[in-house]
Amino acid sequence: MSDYEVHELMVCRVAREVDESGVVVMGSFTPLAYAAYMLAKLTHAPDAYLAGFDAVGMAPVQLSFTGVEAAAYKGAACRWGMLTEINSIHLSNNGGVEAVSSAQFDGDAAINLSTIGPFEEPKVRLPGGAGAAEVIKMYRKMVAYFGSHNPRTLVEKVPFVTGTRWKIGDESREAAGLLPGPVVVVTNLAVLIRDEDERPFRIESLHPGVTAETVVEQTGFELEVPDDIPETTAPTDDELRLLREQIDPHGTVAFDFMPGKERMAYLDRILDAEWSAAERAIGR
């Protein structure tokens, strides 16, 4: 087994949720989620139907900050716009898996992407949720991922609900006209899952070297702790090779895991590599 980094473990775990039923939609370029979708499509889910930007029926693409959007269109079967996408995927129960990150997340699978502090007079005005409020409710599976698992992010109750899963258990979801499916949380420490209305999230697996105690301590909401918790399945050599050589050779996923000081220098290195690739492409 090769060495791997925690963001690679997370990509592989998120990828495992991607299957061939329903459409997977990628909005903003969020490298970890994008990498997971590409990995799934290149491995166990070749028929996964991907939509990114307004490219529908995408081929898998290489990640880059400056060209990922262009890549999305190159192998795509169809062009739509936002409105057709939301009506034909999100609202018509054709959504498969949605992987989101948010400023805060709680035990009812509610997210806050709006504000820290009062809504009208925010201490920190967050970016807003785009389509998340509707999407996380409608999709069959919700995957939430967090590079830093801590009780300020995973809170007992978000102070402002930008959006929510609405119904959790399969039965109550189906009664509300929603596709049944779980909420899976993938963090730098563990994998949490919730699929019943009356039970809280439980720890599904722990990353190597992480204890259940640490996870409970770092989680603001109630957790069920099974007696016997497996270790999160490690990435395979094949997955790592695909990730490092094909899907994300410049290392865009790791960027979100860089400490503050190193971030800009790391970004510059990625952008230098992308610039060079463009120069090569035009024969300079």
Residues 6+ apart with CB under 8 A from 107: 156, 157, 194, 200, 201, 220, 221, 222
User: Of the candidates 2, 44, 119, 175, which one interacts with other proteins according to CB under 8 A?
Assistant: 119
Size of the site for other proteins (CB under 8 A): 96
* 278 lines the binding site for other proteins (CB under 8 A): yes
* 118 lines the binding site for other proteins (CB under 8 A): no
Pairing of the two strands 104-106 and 154-155 = parallel
CA distance linking residue 71 with residue 263, whole number of Å: 25
Q: Of 137-196, which residues contact other proteins (CB under 8 A)?
A: 137-138, 160-166, 177
Nearer to other proteins, 85 or 204 (CB): 85
The piece of 46-54, 196-204, 215-223, 228-236 that touches other proteins (CB under 8 A) is: 46-54
DSSP sequence for 85-114: HIIIIITTT-B-EEEE--SEEETTSEEE-S
Structure token pair of residue 264: 């800009």
Q: What residues does 187 pair with on adjacent strands?
A: 146
Nearer to other proteins, 64 or 218 (CB): 64
* 128 lines the binding site for other proteins (CB under 8 A): yes
H or E segment to which residue 203 belongs: strand 201-206
The piece of 111-119, 148-156, 185-193, 216-224 that touches other proteins (CB under 8 A) is: 111-119
x-marked contacts with other proteins along 190-229 as a string, rule CB under 8 A:
----------------------------------------
The answer to whether residues 62 and 253 touch, using CB atoms and an 8 Å cutoff, is no
Q: Of 70-99, which residues contact other proteins (CB under 8 A)?
A: 70-71, 73-79, 81-83, 86-88, 90-94
